[in-house]
Amino acid sequence: MCAFAVWQILEDQQMTLPSWQSEDLGSMARTALWLLQVVGVGERFKKVELREAFPDVAQIDRRLRGLRDYGWKIDTSREDPTLTQQEQRFVAAGAEVWLPGQAKAPKHKASITTSQRSKILADDNYMCRSCGITAGEAYEDTVTPAVLNVARRKVVLPDGSVGYQTVTECKRCGVGSGERTVELAQVLAEVRALSPMERQVLTSWIEADQRTLGVLERAWGTYRSLPADSRKVVAAELADDND
């Protein structure tokens, strides 16, 4: 299909949409239409531009965030590091929320209350479950302190049903993790395949909620950091044991 034909299709679609300025629509529907008609898919916009477009709508930022509950993809600097803190990118449209019956949010997208967030952070020991960093702790390669968020993770349960569970992750690990899915049956299969000794070690890590290194692992870690001549000495020591 030629570029002109694609352009014509998009133009026809725009013609059938109600105006984002229509006062007959709710603020979230108008926000969705504003993204389509003013911003455009793939384009970035600033928070101030959104507020200027809807000067009489309180909490317009919340209406924008609410669109994600209906399949709209709007990236922030968390998902797209090329964006500044004040910028967002309209990536893809979702449900046509300006149509009757399209604005019913999925149950798993219910807002997390402050008390629920506090409990989730406490259950996760106030650390990112991906990298282990805690809130305010600086990353090794930067002086920037870590910020913890509560994310929803899609989990496929062993019976095949799909659920959504919450997990604590830092802002850095959260970049691009929105579509991450956990196959719980696969995790359980890997655990069952462990030897009795390996299961014992894993159990100790789970109880401590951290991976504790044994003598062998510490020796390997130290060996890897040695200069070549020193590595040869260690290798020769082990070779003597095998003679």
Answer yes or no: do 80 and 148 share one domain: no
Separation of alpha carbons 22 and 188, rounded Å: 53
| 130-160 residue pLDDT tens | 888 998 898 887 888 899 999 888 899 888 8
Phi-psi region of 160 (alpha: psi -120 to 50; beta: other; left: phi over 0): left
- Does a structural domain hold residue 159? yes
Q: How confident is the model at residue 176 (pLDDT cuts 50, 70, 90)?
A: low
Q: How confident is the model at residue 9 (pLDDT cuts 50, 70, 90)?
A: very low
Answer yes or no: do 7 and 98 share one domain: yes
Answer yes or no: do 121 and 137 share one domain: yes
Number of domains comprising the chain? 2
In the predicted structure, residue 10 carries a pLDDT above the cut 60: no
Strand partners, 165: 153
Answer yes or no: do 44 and 70 share one domain: yes
Q: Burial, 143: exposed, middle or buried (Cβ in 10 Å; 0-12, 13-18, 19+)?
A: exposed
For residue 153, the one-letter residue type is R
- Does a structural domain hold residue 226? no
| Alpha helices (runs of H) in 23-80, residue ranges in sequence order | 27-34, 47-53, 60-66
- Does a structural domain hold residue 179? yes
> Is the pLDDT higher at 69 or at 145?
145
- Identify whether the C-beta of residue 201 lies closer than 8 Å to the C-beta of residue 172: no
Give residue 62's domain range.
Answer: 3-104
Answer yes or no: do 96 and 118 share one domain: no
Separation of alpha carbons 114 and 120, rounded Å: 10
Separation of alpha carbons 206 and 170, rounded Å: 20
Nearest Cα neighbor of 44 from 21, 74, 68 is: 74
- Does a structural domain hold residue 43? yes
Q: How confident is the model at residue 178 (pLDDT cuts 50, 70, 90)?
A: low
Answer yes or no: do 50 and 129 share one domain: no
Residue ending a domain, choose from 131, 160, 183: 183
Q: Evaluate if pTM is beyond 0.95.
A: no
Answer yes or no: do 93 and 135 share one domain: no
Distance from the Cα of residue 28 to its chain's centroid: 23
Answer yes or no: do 91 and 167 share one domain: no
Answer yes or no: do 146 and 178 share one domain: yes
Answer yes or no: do 24 and 71 share one domain: yes
Strand blocks (E) in the chain = 44-46, 73-75, 87-92, 148-156, 162-170, 181-183
Answer yes or no: do 98 and 124 share one domain: no
